[in-house]
Amino acid sequence: MVQIPLFPGYLFVRITQNQILQVLSINGVVRILGPELKRPSEVPESEIRAIRTLTENSSKVDPYPYLKVGRLVRVKYGPLKGLEGLLVKKRKRHRLVISVGVLRRSVATEVSAGDVEPL
């Protein structure tokens, strides 16, 4: 089984207003989402509970519902990093088949959903 983040690149934290600058000083933290620095967006506790319940009780969570067949994608990691193509099929367990046009020919390959991003 391959485990990939449900929300790659995001970390949910419970902090006070006084802790914002402390969190921003942590290596790897780029920014806190929100309309302005001193007013971060709040995720309702009910949504956090729903995400926890879903992930704890199901092994079939598709973390990339925005990747639809027909969507252009770019490979972010691995030996195919930088490659762009068309998502042609979703296979079981977070596997994608993308078609890449090379010299007006199409080549299909299978990659992990966690390795691609939409264009």
Q: Model confidence over 18-70: pLDDT tens digits?
A: 898 898 899 988 888 887 767 788 888 888 887 788 777 765 665 554 677 78
Taking residues 80-84, report their average pLDDT: 82
Mean pLDDT of 69-77: 82
pLDDT for res 63 = 54
User: For residue 82, what pLDDT is reported?
Assistant: 84
Full residue range of the structural domain in which residue 33 is found: 1-61
Looking at the structure of the chain, the number of domains it has is: 2
Least confident of 5-9, 24-28, 111-115: 5-9
- For residues 2 and 86, give the distance between their C-alpha atoms in angstroms, rounded to a whole number: 23
Question: Is position 6 within any domain?
Answer: yes
* Residues 84, 101: Cα–Cα separation, whole Å: 9
Q: Which of 38, 61, 84 is the last residue of a domain?
A: 61
Residue 66 lies in a domain: no
- Is 67 within the bounds of a domain? no
Residues 9 and 32 in one domain: yes
Burial track 66-105 (b if 16+ CB lie within 10 A, e otherwise): ebeeeeebbbeeeebeebebbbeeeeeebebbbeeeeeee
Q: Is the pLDDT of residue 102 over 60?
A: no
Q: Is residue 81 part of a domain?
A: yes
Q: Are residues 92 and 112 in the same domain?
A: yes
Residue 39 lies in a domain: yes
Which of 15, 38, 61 lies at the terminal end of a domain, its last residue? 61
Strands (E), the chain: 72-75, 84-91, 95-102, 105-112, 116-118
Whether residue 42 is contained in a domain is answered as yes
How high is the pLDDT of residue 95?
61
Q: Is 49 in the same domain as 88?
A: no
Q: What is the Cα–Cα distance from 44 to 103, expressed in whole angstroms?
A: 49
- Write down the pTM of the prediction: 0.47
Write phi, then psi, for 58 (nearest 5 degrees).
-145, 135
Residue owning tokens 């934290």: 13
